[in-house]
């Protein structure tokens, strides 16, 4: 910051977060909304939606380790509709285990 090296990132934007975790901006934004790091009513561009980087450290570690439906289907030799049935029956989680939600107080 202004010529000084910071030991850790203090702020993220949706775009910088998506680049850091290796997913598209739309998917990153959905993860951030689920974790309550950003507000759904914020209409600013993704590059201007700033949030505390410390509040999403768990997500930065977790997201690159996630496996998509395509990879799961290949590993299980299951069709897409079979995977959706497993998801709808609660056998496969829709995203990831709930992270502690940010509280205002």
pLDDT single digits (tens) 30-41: 999 988 899 999
Asked whether residue 80 is assigned to any structural domain, the reply reads no
74-93 mean pLDDT? 87
Asked whether residue 73 is assigned to any structural domain, the reply reads no
Q: Mark out the alpha helices in 35-79 (DSSP H runs).
A: 57-62, 69-76
Question: For 88, which DSSP code?
Answer: H
pLDDT in tens, 44-57: 999 999 999 988 88
> Tokens 């450290």 sit at which residue?
57
Asked whether residue 84 is assigned to any structural domain, the reply reads no
Model-level pTM? 0.70
> Structural domain tally of the chain?
1
**What pLDDT sits at residue 62?**
86
Collapse the DSSP code of 13 into the 3-class scheme (helix H, G, I; strand E, B; otherwise coil) and give the result.
strand
The CA distance from 17 to 23, in Å, is: 9
Asked whether residue 93 is assigned to any structural domain, the reply reads no
Q: Which domain holds residue 48?
A: 11-66
Retrieve residue 105's tokens: 């107080």
Assess contact for 56 and 17: CB atoms under 8 A.
yes
**What pLDDT sits at residue 7?**
83
């Amino acid at each position: 910051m202004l010529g000084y090296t910071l030991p850790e990132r203090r702020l993220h934007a949706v775009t910088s977060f998506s680049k850091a975790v290796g997913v598209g901006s739309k998917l990153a934004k959905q993860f951030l909304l689920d974790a309550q790091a950003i507000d759904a009513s914020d209409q600013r561009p993704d590059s201007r939606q700033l949030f505390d980087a410390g509040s999403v450290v768990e997500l930065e570690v977790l997201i690159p380790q996630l496996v998509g439906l395509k990879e799961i289907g290949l590993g299980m030799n299951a069709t897409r509709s079979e995977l959706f049935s497993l998801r709808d029956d609660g056998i496969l989680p829709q995203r990831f285990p709930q992270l502690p939600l940010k509280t205002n107080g």
